Structure 1
Amino acid sequence: MTSYLTAVRRHVVLVLVGVLLGTTFGAVASAASVPLYSSTTTLFVSVGSRGEASSLELAQGSTAAQNKVVTFVDVIRTPGVLGPVIDRLDLDTTPTELAGRVSAENTFGTVLIDVSVDDHDAQTAADIADEIGVVLAEVVTETLERPSDGSQSLVLITPVEPAEVAVVPSTPGPLVVVGVAALAGLVLGLLAAVVRSGLDTRLHDDADVARVTDAPLLGAIDFDPAFSAAPLAVATHPQGPAAEAFRTLRTNLWFLESAPAAGCLVVTSSLTGEGKTTTTANLALALAENGSSVVVVDGDLRRPRLAEVLGVEGGAGLTDVLIGRADLDDVLQPRGDRPLSVLASGAIPPNPSELLGSEAMRSLLDQLASRFDHVLIDAPPLLPVTDSVLLSRLARGALLVTASGRVTSSQLESATRSVETAGGTVLGVVLTMTPRTSRSTYDYASDPAGEAPATRARPARLPRRGRLVPARARRRATASGPRRRA
């Protein structure tokens, strides 16, 4: 049941479109249709006797009438009856067409025939029904049941309830037609939503991520169009929900228990355009605002953007250090008044993979890990190139940024497998561009007026791997002074 509700929630537009189309179709059909009126007459069939009849003859006559009624019901819709009706009423139709609007039935065990006629004119429907009774009586008494000696027929057909002129159409009213059509559209919309959800292999929420990888979901960042113009939410809107979402990510990173290999984290993604650079920059700011020393490295030597996002010079940086053209301190740039430093990418080299997997890169990461509490590397996406796979082997682990609704389960699975196959570790997943669905607990802090902000911070799913640091251990660490975090 939950999966169906999720499918409807994700594809609610399909459901609404189905209802809208059904309602529109019903309204058009109702407006285009001409109402039908129905009138019914009831005929009594009897079989008489010559002279005075005994009780036995009366019983036999009743039985004979019941047997004949079945035949007369079929006779009513024949041209022999309907032809004369058309001629007498001067109807512009044919016996075949009129037969489609005439119905006759007999209740079992009785000698009554109910003749019903449908027509767009109520008076015409009643006239046809009554005339059918008259013509049927004539056909039966004068032709079908007329004795061979020419005497009067013993079969009598008598109208016992003349047809009444209908006041209300027999066809459904406009509201009923529109309602039924809207309901049909709703059903079709729900079916379309369920089918599309079953065919959709993209990742949308933490449940989808959990079905693909055992790596914990460390954070969820809602979609915000403002990121394209102002990506540094932690700096520009420090009290906003987006900034709180990155602080949640920071907190969950601290809760992870891990044995650092080179004291750094690789931030990467499966594909381009998933928000890894924005996540790296804001995470660095969130870590630095807590007093920890942070260095962020632009390890994307193919399409570097980190320097542009953080507003620093990107002409010299990582590549210059790796080839020995510059010392680390010469290209390391402080950013703002917090303990945050930026190592830009420098010139784009012809051999990014060789540089990122070199011993010089390993030595550089060791040096940075010894000088800073946190080392973050903005790395290229995993599936197009192998750069991030090489970096993950030199680092403590990788954070895999995954955009909601853009990456498929197979793509995330391939990205995770590539890191693990190379000997790296996926420490967790950061879900970005998630749809805004409800108000956040941070609304109180970020919006005193009570209006919902444009972006919502969502609590992350607690890591399945990794242990929460006990409060006693945290107090001991605080008492002994700041600690270098690898």
Structure 2
Amino acid sequence: MEAPEHRLPSGTAGLVAPPVGSGADKVDVKRLAQTLWRQKWLILGIMALLWLPAVLLINAMTPVYSASSVLVIDPQPNRVINIPSVAEPMGIYLDTVNTEVETLRSRDLARRVVETLSLGQEPEYAAADGKPGLSTALLDGGRALLTDVAEMLPEPLAGLLTPPPRPAAGAANGAEAEIARLTDAFQKNLHISPGVQSRAIRISVDAKDPQLAARAANAVASTYIAMQVEAKRNATLKASEWLQSRIDDLREDMTATGQATIDAMRPGSGMMKGRDAPLVNEAMSALNAQLTEARSAHANALARLRQLQTVKPANPESMAGADIGGDPLIAALRQRQAGLSAQLAELRAQYGERHPALVRPTAELRDLNATLATEVDRVVRGLRDEVEQQFAKVQDLTRRLEELRNEAYSTLQADVKLRELQRQADASDDNYRRAVTRLKETQVLQALQMMPDVRIVSAAAVPNGPVGPGKTVLAALAALVCGAVATGLALVRTMSQRGVYSSHQVEALLGQPAVGVVPLLGRRRKSDPDGREEKAGGDFAEAVWRLCARLHLVRTGAAAATAKGGEVIMLTSSVAGEGKTTLAVAMAAFLADAGRRVVVVDCDTRRPTVHRLLGDGRPPKGLIDLLGGDATLDQVLAIDERRRVAVIAAGRPNDRPQTLLGSQAMLSLLVELSERYDVVVLDTPPVLSVSDALILAPLADRVIYVVRWARTASSLANAGIKQVRQVGGRIGGAVLSMVNAREHANLEYGTRPPSGRSYRLRRIA
């Protein structure tokens, strides 16, 4: 059966065992709070132990003051003259602000501030005394040990283990180390923070002296501005020196490529200028025009020649469209030819072809055609000469044009070179003029005071009060930390407990029914006027009564004991000191008070204690004597008149009681006692200490296993129960003994038992 979920108990000091059962993986916040509340005094004690030294240390802290100055990036300062600066002003960008912030955090700036303020003379920056610390001594000891070990090893290993020699600290190195130390210390106290969506930068310095904090913040701002002005001045000076060194080179370059050299090479290279273009180009243009005209004249003459070559002087129609070139003689002859032709046509029409009147005009016309043919031949010869002349002219012009083309190509190459030289000359001249102008500007800038790109809008003032350390906050934080540490220690101590704390754990861890929870029985003291021990005794009596009742309920049936014989109940435990003897005597007394016949047998022959609780002294004879045959049952039986309980003491000591306890005599004794008495209570030694209880366990009707509350580990109890089962013992349940009633009530029910008058048993006479 699954163990029910239960609440965890605390120990005698308010400790709680780890959860078991089905609720082991759940976190019960309420139970955790109750656990911490039960351990409040332990937690408060640890807190006080840790917190008081922390408070003393916090109170001993020196107050820290903070002073702040504010810079604003202003990249457009007022200029006296409009001369561009060598160092360009910073732009208004986010990366510009971040860059200047990193510049303010730089080590170089911090070093300058340290030297400016002479921070080495300030008490809070003063160097510690020259005595070596514990770490230095340990390092020196380690170096010496390595050196000694290396001397005992061979050469290769010795070289690996030998530490390098420590460098000698000279005066210069010492001063540099001191400056580096002061710079590191100052950088820890320097805080640079850019403004949110602005060009402002806040400079804050923490110091124990408020005057020093203000001076340091202002010194950082002033040093930063001085560094910026110095950077601009250095840039201007370097630019001026560079320009001065370049002036002579630029002057020589300008002279070498000057305009005079270019003008001197023009006549020799043929690059003489005309009205609108170079001479070669103008000549080519004129020659092209002449060539075009010559080609046109040649073509016209050639066309006229070909046309006249097809003319027949005797045919007037062929002469009609011919271009005679405006010759007046040919024109007159053609006119005379036309008149004679018309006259002949008229005569033929009047007289016919054979009339004598036609002879003379026909002869005239024939002579006229011969003359006209002669003149046409003359014109043709003239045109032929003209064609030849025009062709020769075209050839000559073409040749001359080709020569000019070649000359123009050479001239073009010279012009390209000339233009290149011209550009170089112009560039050299321009560079020289620019360099001279810029040199004069930089010389003017050197004479002027450089204007920084930032300005101070708020100088640091001496702070009125400290900003830290916040002693109240630190004390509260220390209290929280100490409380957490104390709570953790209490929980660790709780989780380290491995005892059994509740009836739920008895069932979950031991697998046995919890038949009783018996509180711790204290002794009555004279200093107890309010009867607390009496109340505790009443609680103990009530718990024993409850245990007896549960033991009777476990039995099946309601028949009287005499009908079946008495019942043998054995009480045992894992180790000594778990209260089983007190519980056995109390059970016997309460059962006897209820009218039952009860006998208690002290089977713990090694450490007998039953006779101390039920008698005034140790009886002369007991169990060992009875089992050894040296006494009878009636001789060893003793009656406690007050409690009406029969007792058999342990008897004389014996080296090997296991032999007697496992003998037939012991079995016969138990049978006889069960016939005489209703209940036989056997008080046995611990199971894990000796084997006596394991020998007697099979002889008992029931074994009641006693587990001391918050002391007996569950592993020990499980081991004891397992051994009892292995020998055939019938375990009737487990009893938690010596229980803190208040703590157990918190465990079982989650609340403390109600205050007020409690029920008490009557006093046993």
TM-score, length basis structure 1: 0.80
Is contact 2:569–2:701 with CA below 8 Å preserved after alignment? yes
Select 1:47's aligned residue among 75, 94, 106: 75
- Return the match for 1:81 from 100, 109, 118: 109
Q: Which residue of 2 aligns with 1:471?
A: none
Deviations 1:102-128 (A, max 9, x none): 011213542111111111123321222
Change (3 A) 1:224 1:152: farther
Q: Deviations over 1:329-348 (max 9, x none)?
A: 22211112443111111112
Corresponding residue number in structure 2 for 1:33: 61
Match of 1:256 in 2: 554
1:111 is aligned, of 178, 183, 199, to: 199
- C-alpha distance in 2 between matches for 1:389 and 1:228: 39
Moved more, 338-347 or 385-394: 338-347
Report deviation, 1:8. Answer: 4.5
1:155 aligns with 2:459: no
Counting only pairs closer than 5 Å after superposition, residues 207-356 of structure 1 correspond to structure 2 as: 207-226=504-523, 240-257=538-555, 263-312=567-616, 313-356=618-661
Q: Is 1:123 matched up with 2:211? A: yes
Q: Once the two structures are superposed, what CA deviation does each residue of 1:450-476 show, in whole Å capped at 9, x if it has no partner?
A: xxxxxxxxxxxxxxxxxxxxxxxxxxx
User: What corresponds to 1:193 in structure 2?
Assistant: 490
Match in the other structure for 2:189: 101
Give deviations 1:102-156, integer Å, cap 9, x for gaps.
0112135421111111111233212221222222212212335765133544533
Q: Confirm whether residue 398 of structure 1 aligns to residue 706 of structure 2.
A: no
The one-letter amino acid paired with 2:544 is F
Query: Distance between the aligned counterparts of 1:226 and 1:166, measured in 2?
Result: 70
Q: How far is the alpha carbon of 1:362 from its aligned partner?
A: 1.5
Query: Structure 1 residues 338 and 224, CA, compared in 2 at 3 Å: closer, same or farther?
Result: closer
Paired residue total: 438
**What CA deviation, in whole Å up to 9, does each residue of 1:406-431 have, x standing for no partner?**
22111111100011111112211121
The match for 1:358 among 663, 666, 676 is: 663
Question: In structure 2, do the counterparts of structure 1 residues 142 and 389 end up closer, same or farther at CA, with 3 Å as the change threshold?
Answer: same
Deviation string, structure 1 residues 336-392 (Cα, Å, up to 9, x no partner): 244311111111222211211222112211221222222111100000111111211
Query: Offset of 1:294 from its aligned partner?
Result: 1.3
Q: Which has the higher strand share?
A: 1
Q: CA deviation at 1:9?
A: 6.7
**Amino acid of the structure 1 residue aligned with 2:475:** V
After the TM superposition, which of the residue ranges 416-425 and 155-164 deviates more from structure 2?
155-164
Give the drift of 1:77. 3.5
CA distance in 1, matches of 2:756, 2:663: 47
Q: How far, CA to CA, are the matches of 1:109 and 1:277 in structure 2?
A: 85
Aligned counterparts of 1:145 and 1:420: Cα–Cα separation in 2: 101
Counterpart amino acid of residue 487 in structure 2:
L
Stretch deviating more after TM superposition (63-72 or 321-330): 63-72
Aligned twin of 1:464: none
1:72 aligns with 2:369: no
- In the TM superposition, residue 53 of structure 1 has moved relative to its aligned partner by 12
In structure 2, the CA distance between the partners of 1:9 and 1:423, relative to structure 1 (3 Å rule), is farther
Query: C-alpha separation between the residues in 1 aligned to 2:63 and 2:108?
Result: 29
Contact 2:189 2:206 in 1 (8 A): yes
Q: TM-score of the superposition, structure 2-length normalised?
A: 0.52
Equivalence for 2:52: 24
Q: Is the 8 A contact 1:146 1:152 kept in 2?
A: no
Gaps of 5+ in 1: 55-59, 448-486
The 3 A distance-change label for structure 1 pair 74 and 276 is same
CA contact (8 A) 1:297 1:343 kept: yes
Report which stretch shifted further, 250-259 or 183-192.
Answer: 250-259
Q: What secondary structure sits across from 1:376 in the alignment? A: strand
- Separation in structure 2 between the aligned mates of residue 6 and residue 348 of structure 1, nearest angstrom: 50
Amino acid aligned to 1:311: G
Retained in 2: the 8 A contact 1:26–1:179? no
| Cα-to-partner distance string for 1:30-69 (whole Å, 9 max, x where unaligned) | 0332121222222111111565999xxxxx9773465443
The CA distance in 1 between the partners of 2:462 and 2:224, in whole Å, is: 21
Q: For the residues of structure 2 that align with 1:377 and 1:209, how far apart are their CA atoms?
A: 22
Deviation at 1:164, TM superposition (A): 4.0
Q: Secondary structure at the match of 1:308?
A: helix
User: Which position in structure 2 is the counterpart of 1:386?
Assistant: 691
In structure 2, C-alpha distance between the alignment counterparts of 1:314 and 1:10, rounded to whole Å: 47
Residue 216 of structure 1 contacts residue 428 of structure 1 at CA under 8 Å; is this kept in 2? Answer: yes
Deviation at 1:224, TM superposition (A): 4.7
* CA RMSD, Structure 1 to Structure 2 (Å): 3.4
Q: 3-state DSSP class of the match of 1:166?
A: coil
Q: Secondary structure of the residue that 2:620 maps to in structure 1? A: coil
Please tell me whether the aligned partners of residues 335 and 342 of structure 1 are also in contact (alpha carbons under 8 angstroms). Answer: yes
Which deviates more, 87-96 or 294-303?
87-96
Q: CA deviation at 1:228?
A: 12
User: Measured at CA, do residues 334 and 426 of structure 1 come closer, stay the same or move farther in structure 2, by a change above 3 Å?
Assistant: same
Q: Structure 2: how far apart are the matches of 1:440 and 1:7?
A: 16
**Contact 2:565–2:678, Cα closer than 8 Å, also in 1:** no
Q: Distance in 2 between matches of 1:445 and 1:86?
A: 80
Contact 2:90 2:96 (C-alpha < 8 Å) held by counterparts: no
Identity of aligned residues (%): 28
Distance (whole Å) between structure 2 residues aligned to residue 307 and residue 412 of structure 1: 27
Label 1:144 to 1:258 Cα distance change in 2 as closer, same or farther (>3 A). farther
| Structure 2 unaligned regions, length at least 5 | 1-26, 83-87, 126-181, 237-441, 558-563, 746-751, 761-765
Output the CA distance in 1 between the equivalents of 2:602 and 2:73.
Answer: 99
Cα deviation for residue 305 of structure 1 reads: 0.8
Letter in 2 for 1:254: H
Report the secondary structure of 1:180's partner residue: helix
Between structures 1 and 2, the one with greater helix share: 2
Change (3 A) 1:375 1:74: same
Tell me the secondary structure at the aligned position of residue 481 of structure 2: helix
Structure with larger Rg: 2
Q: Distance in 2 between matches of 1:255 and 1:128?
A: 89
Distance 2:460 2:493 in 1: 54
Residue 682 of structure 2 corresponds to residue 377 of structure 1: yes
Aligned 8 A contact 1:23 1:179 in 2: no
